[in-house]
Structure 1
Amino acid sequence: MKPYLGNDEGALLSVMDYCDVLSQALGENIQRVQHPKKWQPGEVDGLYVSISEQAPILYPVEAKALSTGDSVNLAQVQGAYNTVIAKIKDIKIIPLAVQMIAEGMYIAIFEADESGHLVITRSLKIVLEPPIDTWRKKGGKRLADQPTLL
């Protein structure tokens, strides 16, 4: 599949699914629900759930790809979180931000404080081996610098 992957958000979310990145990174059995999940007035790039012996956990994902030329920002993650908590009640929600980088992806894990504002509690760098060529090149040249998450 690698030769057919682009450097857009769809490719990022697909690689997350093919490689089961969230399950491995977060130590839970995490499955994709839907991407994107469109609710008015908002949208979540990807919605995932873990179902374990404990209560289920929802993971709304805000994703950014190299093709956009920008980074995930806190306002986007907060907006996606606010959309989910307005639509779904009585479930733990852990928002994630995922930023595509040349060698893989950065993942930021958030929790809401008492006032409902999100704070990063953990961040991970996921390196894909072998790398995906279309993520390492832009305009035929290797990317030297990548946008940073948040």
Structure 2
Amino acid sequence: MSVKSQENNMRRLAALLGQDLSYIHGDSECGPNGSKKTFLNVGKVFLRALSKDLGLREVTVSSNAGGIGVAGECTLIGMWEDGGIYVCLHQPIYHRELVLCYRTVRHARDFKGGYNHYLTRADLKKWSYSQLLDTMNALRKDGCTYERAA
């Protein structure tokens, strides 16, 4: 997918996540053309292309629509040669601007991973796709950092 397409997807996701996707009224919104469904579809397309651009292998992209009380989420878990990354697009109940969470992972089934990092809706609106790739690739260069229980 082209850089321009990915930047358009970033802007579209920012706009969708600015709406309340958790409880949508009406048949047209709950049907196949609703905003929640659009968010989940655009999110998966965006994350699949992101995984290719990051050079990930062993990639899993999924979405979870949840129920009527939540917006759902799109997730990506992918591996480089020496570790991996977890990315989640969601609409949190609190801190509604923090819409993209990412962190390092040790393996493809590591759901705890390293420290969480967040991007805001404003970041998705303003950043170039290259800035996003640089930010995600910085995790790879920094290596996996994990907290240790006392």
TM bucket (normalised to shorter chain) is: 0.3 to 0.5
Give the TM-score, by structure 2 length: 0.35
Give the TM-score, by structure 1 length: 0.35
Higher helix share: 2
